[in-house]
A and B are shown apart, each in its own frame.
Chain A
Amino acid sequence: MDLVEGVRQGNRLALARMLTQVENDTPLGREGLNRLFPFTGKAHLIGITGSPGTGKSSLACRLAKAFRALPEQPKVAIIAIDPTSPFSGGALLGDRVRMRDLSGDGGVFIRSMASRGALGGLARTTSSVAQVLDSAGYGLIFIETVGAGQSEVDIARLAHTVLVVEAPGLGDDIQAIKAGILEIADILVVNKADLAGADQTMRVLRSMIDLGYPSRLLRGCNPRAEDAHGVMVEEALPPWEPPVLQTVSASGQGVDEVVHAIQQHRDYLLQSNQWRQRDADRLQNGLDVLLQATLVARLRASLPTQAYEQILNQMSDRQLSPFEAVAHLMELSSVVQKK
């Protein structure tokens, strides 16, 4: 069976096997991605991030179910990433435990991924895995990050819409104004809202949003503006202001509001042309990463045997600084054009 044909025809076994090839970055996976790439760019990629134990998996399950219940019944995929042990290289991927309600629905595809040493909450090949699912016709792709915490911002580069999930009692108002994870939120969700302290968490997050969007207090007073020639023009779309919503994943309370917010954000991205912009940013980021990896690999391959190790040893002996080491390696390489 040709895997690419299978993926395009909706064969789930072919899709699963192609995802493995892509995840392992095999030649077959790369060739498959080359052929599938023209069919990508249609899916809405939705990131779900937040601290461990805030209920990301349960919320992803609820959201997937809610989207499947819509009249258009979009095909939904979930990529759930859990950490790889830095000691053994193994991983325990447990997100499916929270997603059992999705079982038996042929329009849902769940794939667990181990982070395999990458930091930032995603695995190195998560973007490629999402592309394969996109080309297979999954219109909504939820990407659930590892959930390590404050610096997990890679998802902002990958997803169109980022949900940051919080739970009551995890931090005070200083946590909320720190740079990092909250800054990347397009939608803020306070999950486990039936627990004590939920209202306090909502208040803190709302006041953080107020700090970040002072201009919203003026909005509505001047919906139309004059240009330099005094002609009335439509004001540009105001910036998206992240809504702060409450959910209880266990019961499903508040999930419809999150679905609605995701749809509104999608409309906003399309109207403001940011959909295209985010796509271009993502492609550029992917290109840069690939380019760097390829150049480093070619450079390493072009060096005389042992040169890299010898220079590393000289650095350990403090005979070469890192800058000098790089200059030496450039000098020794046959692929770098000499000045």
Chain B
Amino acid sequence: MQQSIRVLIAKPGLDGHDRGAKVVARALRDAGMEVIYTGLRQTPEMIAEAALQEDVDVVGLSILSGAHLVLVPRVMELLRANGQDNMHVIVGGIIPDEDVAVLKEAGVAEVYGPGSSTEKMVTDIRAAILGEPVA
């Protein structure tokens, strides 16, 4: 029996900057996770569909366009509609401090802004999915 944490990394919306998403995808891969990368300019519907088909444990959304307050709740809504209620959703990108609370209210587990450590991201995900203690 072989198991791996499966993560979907997606970029909803219209900004074309995927450097951050690729850095995160690479870091999670190096931490032994299976990362499904979907590319630029995804609609919330496309992301929810991919999360369903791939039966991932984690959805990571990278947004630099400022549209996070529209896009993220929509993704959450669609995940729930598909029956994936307990999905561990994380958000990265340029998110103003006052919006972080709003996103968490919508069900987002964590928001990682510029300068976040990928190590912390890995520890957080492993703690949430595998129940590993946070060092």
Identify the A interface with B (CB < 8 A): 12-13, 16-17, 19-20, 24-26, 84-85, 88-94, 96-97, 100, 103-104, 109-112, 114, 116
Interface centre among A12, A90, A114 (most CB of B within 10 A): A90
Cβ B46 vs Cβ A90 within 8 A: no
Q: Given A24-B1, A116-B2, does the pair A90, B29 have CB atoms closer than 8 Å?
A: yes
Contact assessment for B49 and A112 in the assembled complex, using a CB-CB cutoff below 8 Å:
no
A141 to B35, CA, bound (A): 23
Beyond A13-B82, A97-B38, is A25–B28 a contact (Cβ under 8 Å)? no
In the complex, chain B residues 27-50 whose Cβ is within 8 Å of any chain A Cβ? 28-39, 42-43, 45-46, 49-50
Chain A residues with Cβ below 8 Å from B86 are: none
Cβ-based interface call for B25 (8 A): yes
Chain A residue nearest in CB terms to B82? A13
B53 and A110 contacting across the interface, CB-CB below 8 Å: yes
The total of chain B residues at the interface (CB under 8 A) is 32
Q: How far is the CA of A109 from the CA of B82 in the complex (A)?
A: 15
Asked whether B84 lies within 8 Å of A97 as measured between CB atoms, the reply is no
- Within 8 Å CB of B1, what residues of A? 24-26
- The DSSP consensus for interface residues of chain A is mixed
Q: Which of B3, B38, B52 sits near A13, CB closer than 8 Å?
A: B52
Q: Is B117 an interface residue (CB 8 A)?
A: no
State whether A90 touches B52 (Cβ < 8 A).
Answer: no
Give, as a whole number of angstroms, the nearest-CB distance from B54 to chain A: 6
Known contacts A24-B3, A90-B4, A94-B37: A16-B55 contact under CB 8 Å: yes
Which residues of B are in contact with A by a Cβ distance under 8 Å?
A: 1-4, 6, 25-26, 28-39, 42-43, 45-46, 49-50, 52-55, 82-84
A116 closest partner in B (C-beta): B2
CB-nearest residue of chain B relative to A95? B36
| Chain A: minimal CB distance from B30 (Å) | 5
- The answer to whether A16 touches B53, judged by C-beta atoms less than 8 angstroms apart, is yes
Contacts of B53 in A (CB 8 A): 12, 16, 109-111
Which A residues are in CB contact (< 8 Å) with B46?
Answer: 100, 103-104
Q: Which residues from B are CB-within-8-Å of A96?
A: 36-39, 50
* A110 CA to B50 CA, complexed, in Å: 8
